[in-house]
Structure 1
Amino acid sequence: LELMQATAPMLQDAVEEIERMAVGDPMPLSSHAEYASSYNASRMLLPERLNAQMRSRLKDLRMESIFAELKSYSNPGPKRAADYAKVMQGVLILIGKDRDNVKTWEDIQNVLTRELVHTMLEFDTDECTGHDLRERWARSMRATKDLDIDELLAHGVLPIQAMGKWLLAMRLVIQVSITITNELAQEANDNAHTPASSAAAAPA
């Protein structure tokens, strides 16, 4: 539910943008191939649109203030410290950090810098290879596998709620990107193995 609430506006905006593009095509598509090409191009805009929306929302969060508050939690308690660390590990791994460098809450506090704000704002799934994106997604999921993220989103401190929602939303963006890329690759493979239409019979 939290995931849908966090990402539904972005998905709706993206869908509406694609629909406007389809309706506004200045020239009619003259063949199935042209239609497929236009449709695929529109599909590929969805991750790009979601990325742009995420960057815009992240700017609105005033990340430096959020990081300053997180750095002030010097002793949140063993259970909370472990949970906060897992959320932030999920975030940091997703944007390319090595988990070995952010094992503890203290490690994480040390990397909450202005440079990290810039890294998060500039994070773009289009700049990652498919394999790298899948690896980051998988490692991020492993970092939070024992975490009750719904409980943290409901009852955690506001900075952790913000980071948790960003994490879930970016995972969705990555899933959408990977799914669309896989679908297009499969379609291209299927088309490559589809026999060409029979040539027209020669006149008698």
Structure 2
Amino acid sequence: MFVLAEMKHVIRIPPHDFKKRLNDAISEELNKKLANKVVLNVGLCIALFDITRLEDSYIFPGDGAAHTKVNFRYVVFRPFMEEILIGKIKSCSPEGVQVTLGFFDDIIIPPASLQHPSRFDETEQAWVWIYDTDGDTHDLFMDPGETIRFRVTAESFVETSPVGPENPDVKDAVDATEEPKVPYKLTGSINEPGLGLLSWWANS
């Protein structure tokens, strides 16, 4: 679920931080810049692990800050494919079940990846597994807040950096209805024995 990503960056240390140890000042700047941010094709950055190399610091004309090239390792959230995780149901909709891990909410289990057969209950706003036992069917609801075990089946990264209009002479009106892009999203599945709500399998 968590991996160490090797990165490098040029860090700017402002003059008021010169009184700090260089490693401490750089660590603070790296965490300010990266913690809780998604790096494209890397994952969700959690915290600095260590600094592996510091190059010489330079002060450029017109800028009193020190610029230092740093090689470092960062703790990143990026589950591997087919990894099994445990989270909580955040919400349900006709598009599927949204799962949260507490620190990461962009996980969706689409309808085709739920236990079969399942249906969406509009009244309860919850997905229901229609469980068959020797001809008798039971509705097993997937309610928000329930603990769920799922398999990671896909991931997607989206570039969310702002870009200007293709024609700089044309100022397009911003579409207020456009949903914000999700930089990093996971897709999960529970359509196999042992996956789904933990309560389903507690007594099996």
TM over 0.5: no
TM-score scaled by length of structure 1: 0.22
Query: Comparing both structures, which one devotes a greater share of its residues to helix?
Result: 1
